[in-house]
Amino acid sequence: MTRFAFSIHATDGKARTGTIQMRRGEIRTPAFMPVGTAATVKAMKPEAVRATGADIILGNTYHLMLRPGAERVARLGGLHKFMNWSRPILTDSGGYQVMSLSDLRKITEEGVTFASHIDGSRHNLTPERSMEIQRLLGSDIVMAFDECPRADQDRDVIARSMEMSMRWAKRSRDAFDSGGEHAEDAALFGIQQGALDQGLRQNSADALRDIGFDGYAIGGLAVGEGQEAMFATLDFAPGQLPADRPRYLMGVGKPDDLIGAVERGVDMFDCVLPSRSGRNGQAFTWTGPLNLRNAKHAEDTGPLDPRCICPTCATYSRAYLHHLIKAGEILGAVLMTEHNLSFYQQLMQAMRDAIGAGRFAQFAADFRRDYLGR
């Protein structure tokens, strides 16, 4: 059984298309991973998630450790069985959400202590505990535990944080490797930090490469720095990471973010945007985002996007979706999420096809013309 094998089928400029082979299935890259925070991709049945074309979903260590609890998920047979998703699951390390969601956190060399945003209960998270939780969940792709600092801080702060994350990466590696059977089936990704600084990013990449991982994530972006600064960082960051391993840009992003990142050599993405926006009434289309709350859609009998092949576009009018969203109906969230996740997968497939055909630059230019109007 292949534990983890990444094959690059074609490159076009810095863009690559390939496949990751794992025990639970194949992941086509560039890949977009829908976020299944609390053991559910919000508003979607797992078979509907798969039908959008998703090969892998993401689960959140922070949320799952608090509710229902990692030990409980393990007793119930693991996350795949619990939520009825048989394909690969990537779990984050919990580090980012501890910083962004919890209260009363204290960060030391050992790890993080924090209070649950749900009930205020106190918890610890260390590299060792993060690896244990991800093993209890039965994760296929485990993320190293890191600190994700705000990008607008002094270089010294960013540097010290990155250096600690690299020590935590080594502890993550050691803890993961002692995980017995799970370590034989699952993959471990390291996470590059260093904010927008090329030198720090290089130091981080060197440290991670010395430890050795199955794949490498670019962390610390999409935290408010803006697309221009993100792209400037992506002009060098992917190239600092091993070329024969998948590169995963965490928490990104808008359709034009994905195109720009693939153009710069990124292979994997996750983001709550398509699902969260869908619940809020925003639809992504090939000609740009639509706000379904807008009264102009109230009697529009057309689909969200005439090019889209999703069940929502095959069946329902903008007028109906406008009505559902305005009325706060659950079905509105369901149908809009299904469309947006399907649109994202259609976008990834179009990118894979364009890279395979050696016409990614033209594809990206056409996309920007239609989507951004420029």
Name the residues annotated as catalytic: 92, 270
Q: Which of 77, 120, 226, 302 binds a second copy (CB under 8 A)?
A: 77
Using CA atoms, how far apart are residues 225 and 153, in angstroms rounded to an integer?
11
Say whether 231 sits in a helix, a strand or coil: helix
Q: Which of 6, 85, 145, 316 binds a second copy (CB under 8 A)?
A: 316
Strands (E), the chain: 4-12, 15-22, 25-29, 31-34, 57-59, 89-91, 103-107, 112-115, 122-125, 141-143, 187-192, 215-218, 247-249, 268-271, 282-283, 290-291
Using CA atoms, how far apart are residues 121 and 184, in angstroms rounded to an integer?
34
# chain residues binding a second copy, by CB under 8 A: 35
Q: What is the DSSP letter of 252?
A: B
Residues 286-315 that bind a second copy (CB under 8 A): 298-299, 301, 315
Instruction: Give φ, ψ of 231 to 5 degrees.
Output: -65, -40
Residues 13-52 that bind a second copy (CB under 8 A): 38-40, 42-45
Nearer to a second copy, 144 or 325 (CB): 325
> Does 211 interact with a second copy (rule: CB under 8 A)?
no
Q: Is the dihedral of CA 122, 126, 129, 134 positive or negative?
A: positive
Residues 246-275 that bind a second copy (CB under 8 A): none
Which one of 77-85, 152-160, 172-180, 199-207 is the stretch in contact with a second copy (CB under 8 A)?
77-85
- Whether 253 and 269 have beta carbons less than 8 Å apart is answered as yes
Amino acid (1-letter code) at residue 319? A
Site map (CB under 8 A) of a second copy, residues 81-120, x = contact? -xxx------------------------------------
Nearer to a second copy, 76 or 309 (CB): 76
> Does 327 interact with a second copy (rule: CB under 8 A)?
yes
Provide the binding-site residues for a second copy, judged by CB under 8 A: 38-40, 42-45, 67-68, 72, 75-77, 82-84, 279, 298-299, 301, 315-317, 319-320, 323-324, 326-327, 329-331, 333-335
